[in-house]
Chain A
């Protein structure tokens, strides 16, 4: 049997950082990822932060990958504006929270996981190969067998021969099978959020102009109020280089209480007039081909239109981006920007005149996706290890979600470094006893400033938030919250109030803060009273969920990776509504699963026998 020092299970941002850090320490590690291509199964919002915290050190992405990250990583835009909007129909009240976004942070970049993780993988693999390790995609770890005598673990996968390792880093995400194998209970709905998002295509120049940002700089817009359809959580819109990420994150228990389809929730965002205006673009609309023509002629026309549209799209995208224009000019095909635009108009004319293609105001959605998110305040593992397995990132239930603070990526990277350091130390001494290894890691994580942030309110952060809200009439706030929050909004009593709150503990405070009042009622009231009217100039034609699923790429497996255990339970019946891709239906009071189209979000995992698909199978995100 082949032997390796370390196996990392899961190639998301956390697992990849663990591999890179182990290579930085010159240790041999192999990373196993179920997806056929690294990044193809990862989805985020997402803004990747680098932090400088006043009460201690965290390990940032650039510490792991080095300065090359800052120079070359395919991040989207550096977020320079952070704005929270309260919505009520066409009324919107906006608060600038850029100070909160910049609080204790070096930077925050918008990112798309498929592209970014594949870059991380290139970096990590190159280093890992030097020490006899590497990344193996398309492999699903199915079980682990602990060997008491040798203190090692035998790793079984669906694809490869078994092999033996001395330590394991479990970075297999929120629906961790490694946690299940280790008899660690699944996260409960109270501990989770469901995130759903769409990626919208929009040329770079239009983004710069519309969001009033420079190239490479971007904006983040958060939404609360009636866009939530009465759920606890909120929506987001982030600018990427030439796409927008629009999505929503809601408490899973709030969704269970009042089930609404995830796509309806994201549609509610898209239909908000401010967002409709943000996403709009010039979109070609094809005319139906005359069916009375001979079939070959119909086919020829269809192919011709597809080809022209493809050229039009490529050329338009390039002409509306700085890099694209430069490349076109450099290629020698065009000698001026004017020539590019002329060519573009001529293609457009040809499309219109010859083939009857119209150009209308609408938006272009390129990807739909969803995933559960662990709420670190409620579900972080107290002891994130089991025998010689260390849990990191989403698998360890870690992530900071406080008000507008949404951070899972940076926390997972910090965990990964701590895990890699613990493994290195244990390998050096050949000591994998729980005291020297697991407990050491557990302590290191407990001491991370991020863990502190999952446990306590930071009064300086709160102040920024309250300052931004200073124009909101006190009576709206007073009517909804208890004394503590009222005290917090007063400069004189804030410190005392925060202390008091921290004594009370997050557990008791959270139900007050993370409530329908905060995310729905207060924002609606604020928008109604103070908001400005925003009107949309068109109605976005939002694709149906069937069309969205049809657009996704899957490598279908003929056997299902999910087994329904209780087809008649209340929970499972709610999955008919809450599965983001409509995999469940109700037939004769029994819930039936059709696993094709499953995007592995984990929403149904609570009451099913839930595994990831075999290696290479299942969803293949292109943006993530």
Chain B
């Protein structure tokens, strides 16, 4: 049975037609993946269904009934729930309080917190959610907060659940847990729309799928059977994309970066213990590991943002020390792992972000004042070279899509011709087209003789790009070797700390 049908939806924004005569349908009790690159119109389509946007044209049927949904409350009453890309929880309140808000149980006069906790506990138990009803939301991990959002929708009687890029913020483990929950919900008869641009996830969980590209529906309601990742990529991007592209370095150059005995103490235990490795020119060294095993701190030490207790640290034969500024001066490029906290200043313009970190260079300013034309010309060149989609170089950087924001960071660092590049999560939240592009640039730079350290939570990415892989667990490098020497299972095991013995330990390239 069709629970949702959307016909001929059109939505115009000032500069773009976000949706161009789109049809969409959802079957009852199924998981439907809505695929599309950043800016394809996925969120807009679902916001229309959830009553957050009004379409310029088109109509909607819920369970066969024509409905005009003009606000979320109406959507909720029709049994539609939506978990947004950005969570909307009150961190100081408990899980239960956050869930019941909007239709709280009361004792006739006062909020009945005991009843609320009880009802929420039942809900948690029913779907196996593994969180505590009386925990404060601020104490929860991102994955747990997401579960609270899902519970909130269920509490309000959602039969149709819209999840907007739920996996973008999750670690691979959390993604697995989410999928378990989604299957549980499907079993309970819920219909789920999963918005994503990740093919693997679609193939892993969806029953049917639809693909949006530039506001047009390319395929709608396609069954997952017999569909390959390549087919999906072609539909999303509009051309063939080689998803398996690997390209190992032909020549490994001399040592560029030498790290010996790197130790960083934390409050209770060492965050990094006695790390030693070499990074060569013409080489990409990938760091594989589950997040939180010291990768972030390793990057901070290598970019001058944190000071290690003990380290022998040489780059091209000179010993490194100082702060971030000194490291940048030594031609060490840094693509931070989290573009919104360290990589970009969203309130500032694209132009201003494109020179961040290099803004003191004399080519941008004279006697303490910027040369607007120089800044503009540089920005325009970057926007062209890196195909950054932006209305103008003076647009607020935060208004760009995630992929284009990432391109701003990448353009800034790569165009500076650094000798050593430290790239962390270079394609997180980035669509396939941009990911492909970033990977190609990395190969190109490596072949030009740069030394590249790649940290990524995406194991596929590490395996495809790296000439050598170092596995980190609990602040240590447990193994370094060529990617061909590991099976996926071996890597997975080492990342979780098991079976460290029996793995190769040759430090030679």
A and B physically associate? no
